[in-house]
Amino acid sequence: MKAFLVVSYEFVQSLLFALPRYRLLNAFKRLFLVLNGASIGRRVVFYPGVWIAPGRGLVVGDDVDFALGVVVSSGGGVDIGDRTLIGYRTQILSTNHRIPPGRGAVFGAGHDRKPVRIGCDVWIGAQCVILAGVTIGEGAVVAAGSVVSRDVDAYTVVGGVPAKVIKVRD
């Protein structure tokens, strides 16, 4: 039964989130996420192809923009502040597969869950990966293509793989 519910969620989400970003359609996308345990602010924009699972554990502020193809795994908790821009094909991952001790089987070893926190007025460029357990401070900028594996201080610009400080905003 659980597998049926998971696949049904994925099916409905894939149909709904394939729709364009008209205000009315964004309201339906928001409602779908709220019914699945998310807290979504006002005027949130979901471009087509956004993938958010499982929904619960997601808290999104007002005026957040999820660009085309953004993926969010919210099982470990994801909190996104107001006025945040999330670039094309970015991945925000609060869960990851667990590596078992020794030579144990990876398949079936379970998952590690760590919250991701993104402050207000943050700009995350295209094709970034934000890993579990990371906090990105208010006003930070993450350059396109970056992999963020450590916390980012407020008003800091980071970039690269792994992301490193480029400068601090004045």
Is 111 noted as a catalytic residue in this protein? no
Q: Choosing from 42, 97, 111, 150, which is the catalytic residue?
A: 97
Cβ atoms within 10 Å, residue 142? 27
Strand-pair category, 78-80 with 116-118: parallel
- Name the residues annotated as catalytic: 97
